[in-house]
Amino acid sequence: MYLETDFATVSEDATRDDVIDLIESLGDGKHSMAILGTEDEVYIQTSYLPGTDEFGIDYRDGDAAHHYAVTVPTNELVLATFLSYLAGNDRWRTMVDWEHDTHYEQA
């Protein structure tokens, strides 16, 4: 899986340590987002929301109809979802209450 931050590639073959280092650095002024994925439209991503001190998490599983989002209060929850996604298990799907995000769907 690839790992990116602020539109720069961190790794083409992300490790657990790569993910931990990046997620723990979010909001430090250097990094504001992270994307972990297998291809262009299949990924999980997060952004630090400085005004609220929370994190937005999205995942997309193909087309725009399969885009979901949630806001969480801690980077620990972000880290847990990302590590589950990296491990290839489905625990991340139930760690938070995902909501269907229609923002990218065409009317």
Distance CA(74)–CA(104), nearest Å, equals 26
Helix (H, G, I), strand (E, B) or coil at 49: strand
Q: Which of 42, 48, 44 is nearest to 30 (CA)?
A: 48
What pLDDT was estimated at residue 106? 65
Using 50 as the pLDDT threshold, list the residues of the chain that sit under it: 107
What pLDDT was estimated at residue 29? 78
What pLDDT was estimated at residue 101? 86
What pLDDT was estimated at residue 105? 66
pTM of the model: 0.91
Distance CA(52)–CA(89), nearest Å, equals 30
